[in-house]
Amino acid sequence: MIVLEFKLKGKPHQYRVIDDMIRTAQFIRNKALRYWMDNQNVKLSDLYKQCAVLAKEFEWAGKLNSMARQASAERTIFAIQRFFANCKANKPGKKGYPQFKKSARSVEYKTSGWRLSSDKRSLTFTDGFAAGTFKLIGSRDLHFYAQTEIKRVRVIRRADGYYTQFCINVERTEEVAPTGKAIGLDVGLNYFYTDSTGATIANPRYLRKSEKALKRAQRRVSKMKLGSANRKKAMNKLGRKHLKVSRQRKDFAIKTALCVVKSSDFIAYEDLQVKNLVKNHKLAKSISDAAWSSFTDWLQYLGRVYGKTVIAVAPQYTSQDCSGCGTRVKKSLSQRTHTCSCGTVLDRDHNAALNILAKALRRAGVELNTAGHAGINAWGQTDLYSLVVTSTSKPTG
């Protein structure tokens, strides 16, 4: 499944109709949740039937395409299933009990209620709301895909306009020449990551760089009268600034992950529990700004696309253990240099990256040398062609 996104270009009254569509989808979703709360053993089919009841009871709800109403009910059942899965797994903390939506920003259609033009450069909504035709603004080309392959059409409202996402049922694969190299990555705050060769990537800190402008925009919002037109304009400007930071992070994560995947055949990183790390209030903002989870998600996805092996390993003691002899050398977070009695002196993050790589290689079934580590050369890289890999070539972890 791939997702292609375009910006919708239409007239002001068409955007107001989209807002009505989004509010209706939110209404259906909340009503489905209330039905589940008031009844026992509710299934998805029961919520589908409830959608039909709502369409008859409320004329404006019946304007929304039937499959769009069903998609809203599906969002409810997914939230319910996630809640029960967390309870069954005895997940610590809050289990994510489904909540009513107060300000939804999207509506989702399935295979009906919309129509693409013959040149696939415009989108028309054909349900009762009659939002009309919108021009699709974007660089991607839908001509490569048949309309039957488009399984979902999602409309999203953002601070800078309205967008549509086409969810296409195809598998993306890319072929690249193998490099025969393995690499370990240790993410951090001083540097975005340090790899097992000792190379580092600077932490862009997009939120920190935009913090003054964000605070200024937030102050303007707080000074405006509630419900006024000026407050809405100020909130929109604030939303645009936050959106820019979000897009900068995403762009950096994608490009950095793509570079790593193309340059190595075997990639190891530490499986950090970021939501636990952000409980440290002194580091929470910096950790969130680094967006490690987004980066590792893209590593996993691009690893599958390019047929590379991407493995996540437990982070315990990767910074404390010596990559040369395996001795555990205790050190505080402020101590940035690893010094061991065996003579190994490395940057703390470089040492951790070597340990991460060694852990992943052991997990993947690479034959180890007598020192207990994989055959890592003096530059911290591993030549996979000189080792015996018994694991599959598909990404795991």
Q: Which of 195, 265, 321, 349 is catalytic?
A: 349
Residue 175 lies in a domain: no
Q: Are residues 102 and 27 in the same domain?
A: yes
Mean pLDDT of 185-209: 91
Q: Which of 127, 195, 265, 270 is catalytic?
A: 270
Mean pLDDT of 99-123: 92
Amino acid 372: pLDDT: 36
Amino acid 275: pLDDT: 83
Confidence of residue 106 (pLDDT cuts 50, 70, 90): very high
Amino acid 378: pLDDT: 34
Residue 397 lies in a domain: no
Amino acid 366: pLDDT: 55
Which residue in this structure is represented by tokens 């950096």? Answer: 252
Q: Are residues 309 and 359 in the same domain?
A: yes
Q: Are residues 247 and 345 in the same domain?
A: yes
Interval 15-57: pLDDT, tens: 999 999 999 999 999 999 999 999 888 889 999 999 999 999 9
Q: Which of 186, 195, 265, 289 is catalytic?
A: 186
Q: Are residues 258 and 145 in the same domain?
A: no
- The answer to whether 325 and 344 are in contact (CB under 8 A) is yes
Q: Judge whether 186 counts as a catalytic residue.
A: yes
Amino acid 344: pLDDT: 82
Q: Are residues 136 and 276 in the same domain?
A: no
Residue numbers of the domain that contains 349: 181-386
Q: Judge whether 195 counts as a catalytic residue.
A: no
Domain count, the chain: 2
Residue 239 lies in a domain: yes
> Residues 6 or more apart from 261 whose CB is under 8 A from it?
267, 299, 302, 303, 305, 306, 308, 310
Q: Are residues 220 and 160 in the same domain?
A: no
Q: Judge whether 349 counts as a catalytic residue.
A: yes
Q: Are residues 124 and 188 in the same domain?
A: no
Residue 395 lies in a domain: no
pTM: 0.83
